[in-house]
Amino acid sequence: MGRGYSNSRSKSARPTLRMKRQRSLSLQQLKASVPKTNTASRNLSAVRKSDAQTPTSGAKQKTSANRATTQQRDDKARVRSASTIRQKVAFMEKELEGELEPEERVTETIVKPDVMTKYKSAGRALDEVMDILAAACVPGATTKQLCDLGDEELLRRVRAMFSKAKDADGNRILRGLSYPTNVSVNQTLCNHAPLVEEEAVALRGGDVVKIHMGCHIDGYPVTAARTVFVPSDAIAATSPESSGGAIAARGQTRQLTQAASNAVEAARVALRGMIHLMQPGRLNADVTDFIHSVGNHFEVQGLEGVLSNRTKRWVPDGMECIITRRVTLEDPHQDVADCNIGANQVWTLDVAFTDHSSYKVAPVEGTATIYRRTEVEFQNDARLRSVHASLQEITEKHQCFPFSLKHLDNPLKARMAVAMLRKQNVIDPLPALKIKGERHITARFSATVAVSERRVTVLCGLPPAEPLVVPDEVRPPPLSDGIAAVLSEPLVFAERGGPQRKKARKEERNE
């Protein structure tokens, strides 16, 4: 399969599963903000000088050039112009490379034991809550009840950790949610987190439920997602607060199809394979090719816009990423730049499939309850003091992580402030995403892993080792030899470099 990679990130105008931060400065503005150096002036002068030069090696070449037609001269000028533009853009990108995303300091990587401890502690708490929510997915339960339960349990566990730890300034380290709990059912893929019961969905037997949540300790984020089947033979005890829709849903059952069973199994197998492929030096395109092969084996479609990102402290979605599905044969194109997996990195792996014949997802209008702060500065106005107060609360409590209105002190006041902040692009909405057709479903699995020089450590979200339990008539097909070979690759790598390598790592940790 041709990769068709470009030198930029996804050019799609369609929504992605995890929204990207909008850069408020253009390339030209960033160029102006970088101090000019003599080297830059010399390089640009050399480029301009090369533009002015024309080949004049001899009289014979001059005669040949005079015989060229006007069209040929225009073509040559166009080629020289395009080449010059590429040279200038490449030079500017290299000069501004450090301005687009800050470099990760060694003290904030998993080389430091205390950083790894924070990642593991957050991941352990998330896995515990994920198990609680998976067991609570029974007929009659509503998505609002599950979202509230997930947020409460996860916050309670995370806030109990490192309660006395302080940062370099002597302040208590921040702990909280890096992604609000959202529970999406059947054709809905993600970001369904209703604020009231009237907007919630009541579960019924046979539904396909996607649970997604995240937390952080001292800015080190972990997220995970899991797909579960609602059991058909469970008896749900509906609480008095449940809506009438929840009561009506009891006794109804959704029929599980072969294609839906294959989609869930494809997502599970793909994520387990991605974990085994996360080795230092591996190209991100190789991981994308493996996901594509899994989809072909189970005859399901990988969804567009699903990205796996490298994460850092206070950066839940870095510039380096792995795309689930390339879209290069139709507009708008969706692709990412080549990158290699590196040692001492943390990645959030994400994969999603559907049993629909189309791979496209669309936002559900008017359903955004999750938002995220952008880098655009708010134009302060004396008449909008309440808006500024809400923005300050969002920035202090949630930093760069997505948040829900229910986590603010005054949700009603915050709802009015959000409308003003959205007009100025200070915050981005993260609407629910779904595919067309209520007969079809989406399946999603996500995990956070730490890649070191010697092994891959799953921090949270490890998918089940065995396929989900389904009736025999819709059991997925067995794995092919190629996919099974990837799943058998070790998570612990062979030692490279011997004693010198160990000495270098020891010196790096002591810095």
Report the alpha-carbon distance of residue 281 to residue 497 in Å, rounded: 15
Partners of residue 302 on adjacent β-strands? 353
The pair of three-digit structure tokens given for residue 370, joined into one six-digit string = 């999750």
Look at the pTM and tell me if it is higher than 0.85.
Answer: no
Q: Which residues lie closer than 8 Å to 387 by C-beta, 6 or more apart?
A: 378, 416, 417, 420, 421
Q: Which H or E element spans position 347? A: strand 345-354
The sign of the torsion formed by the CA atoms of 80, 85, 90, 91 equals positive
State the Cα–Cα distance between residues 24 and 353, nearest whole angstrom.
Answer: 33
Query: Contact 508/111 with Cβ under 8 angstroms?
Result: yes
Would you say how long the chain is, in residues? 511
Characterise 425 by phi-psi region: left (phi > 0), alpha (psi -120 to 50), beta (else): left
**Would you state the pLDDT for residue 217?**
96
What is the token pair recorded at 343?
A: 């040692």
pLDDT in the model for residue 81? 59
Q: Are 122 and 109 in contact (CB under 8 A)?
A: no
Helix (H), strand (E) counts: the chain: 14, 15
AA letter at 255: Q
CA atoms of 487 and 491, how far apart (whole Å):
10
Q: How far apart are alpha carbons 331 and 4 in whole angstroms?
A: 13
Best CA proximity match to 274, nearest among 300, 306, 301, 299: 306
pLDDT of residue 52: 45
Distance, in Å, from the CA atom of 201 to the CA atom of 431, rounded to the nearest integer, reads 16
How many CA atoms, within 13 angstroms, populate the side-chain half-sphere of residue 315?
A: 21
Please report, as a single letter, which amino acid is at residue 415.
Answer: R
Q: What is the pLDDT of residue 247?
A: 39
Q: How far apart are CA 309 and CA 311, in angstroms?
A: 6
Beta bridge partners of 126: none
Amino acid at 383: R
Contacts by 274-277, CB closer than 8 A, 24 or more apart: 274/308, 274/322, 274/349, 274/351, 275/349, 275/447, 275/449, 275/456, 275/458, 275/462, 275/491, 276/456, 276/486, 276/487, 276/488, 276/489, 276/490, 276/491, 277/486, 277/489
SS3 449: strand
Residue 90's pLDDT is 65
DSSP 110-144: TTSHHHHHHHHHHHHHHHHHHHHHHHH--TT-BHH
- In one-letter notation, the amino acid at residue 316 is P
Q: What angle do CA 325, 328, 332 make, to 5 degrees?
A: 95
Q: Are strands 175-185 and 208-217 parallel, antiparallel or unpaired?
A: antiparallel
Exposure class string for 429-449: b at 16+ Cβ within 10 A, else e: bbbbbbbeeeebbbbbbbbbb
Whole-number pLDDT of residue 494: 75
Supply the angle between the helices 38-52 and 70-95 in degrees, to the nearest 10: 170
* Six token digits for residue 491: 């998570």
**Cis omega before residue 332 (within 30°)?**
yes
Helix 143-159 with 113-136: angle, nearest 10 deg: 150
Q: Which structural domains are found in the chain, ordered by start?
A: 108-234+252-363+436-488 (3.90.230.10), 367-430 (1.10.10.10)
Could you give the CA distance from residue 441 to residue 426 in angstroms, rounded to a whole number?
33
Q: Which of 372, 406, 353, 30 is nearest to 196 (CA)?
A: 406
Closest among 313, 335, 279 to 174, alpha carbons compared: 313
**What's the DSSP call for residue 17?**
S
Neighbours of 133 (CB within 10 A): 22
Whether the CB-CB separation of 316 and 212 falls below 8 Å is answered with no
In this structure, are residues 430 and 368 in contact, taking their beta carbons and an 8 Å threshold?
yes
SS3 labels along 266-324: HHHHHHHHHHHHCCCCCEHHHHHHHHHHHHHHHCCEECCCCEEEEEECCECCCCCEEEC
Per-residue pLDDT 10s for the chain (511 aa) are 433 323 333 333 333 443 333 333 333 444 444 444 444 444 434 434 444 444 444 544 444 545 545 555 555 554 555 566 666 666 666 665 555 566 778 889 999 999 999 999 999 999 999 999 999 999 999 999 999 999 999 999 999 999 889 888 888 899 999 999 999 999 999 999 999 999 999 999 999 999 999 999 999 999 999 999 999 864 343 343 444 444 344 457 889 999 999 999 999 999 999 999 999 999 999 999 999 999 999 999 999 999 999 999 999 998 899 999 998 777 777 888 899 999 999 999 999 999 999 999 999 987 789 999 888 877 766 557 778 888 888 888 888 899 998 898 887 778 888 888 888 888 999 999 999 988 999 999 999 999 999 999 999 999 999 999 999 999 999 999 999 999 999 999 876 544 444 455 555 555 5
